[in-house]
Amino acid sequence: MTVLSSQNDIRILITETEIAARTTQLARLISDEYKDTKQLVVVGLLRGSFVFIADLVRRIDLPVEVDFMTVSSYGNAMESSRQVRIIQDLMTPIEGRDVLIVEDIVDTGHTLSQVYDILQTREPASLRVCALLNKPSRREIDVVIDWVGFDIPDEFVIGYGIDYAQQGRNLPHIGVVSK
């Protein structure tokens, strides 16, 4: 199945250079915030966050432990189902530890809210959130995002780990898919 017929179906919204610069800024802010932490647990929400989390943790200037949760609310659609499924849970115990959730994009807030609530029941010392992209105009549930890379308009985006029907994750930029 071919969903995107060509790169012409994509308009660049955020360049590779802009992403790299902002990721470096976020890593500095996070490093400052957690400078007294013995070891930060960074939790990436798969699959979309894998590129961002890899770049982010390499720039964080303190010891980190990385773990992942696989969650889904989109399937192959362009609209969230609002039904969040946890497909794979953490392997790392987080009780009493500082935890940073790293999300690729916060849209309606349903996924982040549910993941946050689940992790909060595990009694971390702190629980904060960093998202590469934020669509505030689509928010249905109030969520706190401590660090945001970019606020974006209500358009369907791909690239830098984010997909449309499993395509486009390998793009080095954030692009808007033409409908």
First to last CA, the chain: 16
User: Which residue do the tokens 């992209």 mark?
Assistant: 133
Give yes or no for a cis peptide into 11 (omega within 30° of 0).
no
Residue 61 catalytic? no
Instruction: Encode 70-100: b = buried (16+ Cβ within 10 Å), e = exposed.
Output: ebbbeeeeeebeeebeeeeebeeebeebbbb
- Candidate list 107, 142, 146, 151, residue with the active-site label: 107
Write out the catalytic residue numbers: 107
